[in-house]
Amino acid sequence: MEEDEFFIPNELYKLVLRNKANELDAYLQQTSYAKMALLAVDQYKEEQVSIMMIAARHGFDEVMRILLAHRPTQQSVELEGTMYNVTGELVSEVTALWCALDRGHFTVARILIDVGGADVNHGPIHPLLIHAAIMGRFDVIRFLVDNRYTDVNETVTNDENECSSLIFAASIGHQPILAYLIERGANLEYRTKVNRNTALTAAAMNARLESIQLLCYAGASANVKNRNAKTPLILVAENNNFDAVAFLLEHNHDEVTFNELELFAANSYAMSNNHNGAQESERMVHLLRLALDKRALLNIPKIVSEPIIAYNFQLECQSVDELEQIQHDNDRLYIEALLIHERIFLATMNEKLFDPLFERLREYFDSN
C-alpha cells in the first residue's frame, strides 16, 4: 500500500483527541491496520495532520509514548503536514516535534526526541532552533539548547547563506534571546557565507541599537566588514541611525573610525547627484557634528593641512561652532567634503582613490 493511500480511522482519531491512552494502546494492539495509520496524513479543514501531530499539539505525553511504541517505521515521526501555529498562522512542512514546540508542550517534545528520535533540524524550511529565533520563541530556544538537543554554533539555515540563530536574533532585535545565545557561547564573529555578515553588521543593517550595544559589550568586532566592505559604523550611518553612530564612535574611538565616518559623510555628499539637496547636506552636517562632538569629548583632534588657494584658503572645520557657520552654505560644504577627502586620501598615498572624486568635481564645475 502506498503512503498516500493510508488514512486515519475515525476511532483512532477520537481516542487520541480524547487522550484515552489505555484504550489507544489496546486498539493499536488489536487492529491490524491501525499501526499503518500512523503513516497517514489526513486533511481536516485547512490542516493536514498525522495522528502524532494531533497528540503533540494537545500535549498528550502518554498518548505520544504509546504511538511511538507502536510506530511501524521512523518515517511516522518525521511526517510533514500543515497546521495553524499558536498565533493563528497556517504553516506548511511541520512535524509532530514542531507541533509540540509551537504549543510549548516540552514534555511531549522531549519524548519525541529521546524516545522517538525526532530530528531537531527538521523544521519548516530551516532547523527548529533557527525557526524559533525567527519567531522570537525564547522558550523553545532555551529548551533545545539547555537540553543539548542543538548547538548554537553548528545550527544554521538550510540556504546558501547559512545564517545562525545569533544573527537572526540580532537583526530582529530580540534582546533576551540575543543575550542568552551570547551567554551560551554563540560565535560573535561567525559570518554568513554569501553576504559575509556577522551578528553586529546584521544588527547595524536593521538599525537595532540595543542589539549593537549588547554585541559590542560582549566583545564583537566593530571593525568587521561585510561583502560590500561596509563596517557596522557605515551601515548605521547609511540608515541615518545617529544614536548608533554615536555609540559606535565612543565604543571604537580611534582615528581610523573617525576618518571612516567623516569620509563617508563627505563622500555621500560630494558624490551625490544632488549636492544642493537638503537631505544630503543635512546628513553630512549631522554626521560631522557627531564626529566633532566625540573628537572633543575623547580628545582626538584632527590633523588638518595648511590652507591653499585651490580651496580659497578654507580650513576643514575643527569644531561644531565652525561647522554650524557653514551648514547652510552648499558650496562651502562641498569644499569641506573635498578637504576631508584630501586629508584622508593623501594619508593613504593611493592616487586611484581620487579618480571618482575628480570625475565628480569636473561634473560640478561643468554644471556651475
User: For the whole model, what pTM was predicted?
Assistant: 0.88
Last residue of a domain, one of 124, 152, 180: 124
| Same domain membership, residue 141 and residue 206 | yes
The pLDDT of residue 352 = 56
In a domain, 47, yes or no: yes
| Same domain membership, residue 134 and residue 118 | no
Last residue of a domain, one of 89, 124, 159: 124
How far apart are alpha carbons 99 and 52 in whole angstroms? 9
| Same domain membership, residue 60 and residue 33 | yes
In a domain, 247, yes or no: no
CB 9, CB 51: distance < 8 Å: no
In a domain, 242, yes or no: no
Residue with cell 555628499: 269
| Same domain membership, residue 175 and residue 259 | no
Per-residue model confidence as pLDDT tens for the chain (368 residues): 344 556 889 999 999 999 999 999 999 999 888 888 999 999 989 999 999 999 999 999 999 999 999 988 889 999 999 999 999 999 999 999 999 999 999 999 999 999 999 999 999 999 999 999 999 999 999 999 999 999 999 999 999 999 999 999 999 999 999 999 999 999 999 999 999 999 999 999 999 999 999 999 999 999 999 999 999 999 999 999 999 999 999 998 889 999 999 999 998 887 765 555 578 889 999 999 999 999 999 999 988 888 888 778 899 999 999 999 999 998 899 889 989 988 888 777 666 555 655 665 666 566 65
Range of the domain at 54: 1-124
Last residue of a domain, one of 98, 124, 150: 124
Q: What number of CA atoms fall less than 13 Å from residue 183's CA on the CB side?
A: 10
In a domain, 313, yes or no: yes
Amino acid at position 310, single letter: A
Q: Which H helix or E strand runs over 278?
A: helix 278-298
| Same domain membership, residue 120 and residue 2 | yes
Collapsing DSSP to helix, strand or coil, 43 comes out as strand
| Same domain membership, residue 328 and residue 222 | no
In a domain, 207, yes or no: yes
How far apart are alpha carbons 82 and 95 in whole angstroms? 9
The pLDDT of residue 1 = 38
CB 222, CB 231: distance < 8 Å: yes
Tell me how far CA of residue 78 lies from CA of 36, 91, 293, in angstroms: 14, 16, 59
The pLDDT of residue 313 = 86
Collapsing DSSP to helix, strand or coil, 156 comes out as strand
Residues 6 or more apart whose CB falls under 8 angstroms from that of 272 comprise 280
User: Which three cell numbers mark 162?
Assistant: 547559512
Return the ∠ at Cα 305 (arms to 301 and 311), rounded to 5°.
125
For residue 39, give the CATH number of its domain: 1.25.40.20
Query: Could you tell me how many helices (H) and strands (E) the chain has, helices first?
Result: 19, 4
Residues 6 or more apart whose CB falls under 8 angstroms from that of 15 comprise 23, 24, 27
> Count of domains in the chain?
3
In a domain, 241, yes or no: no
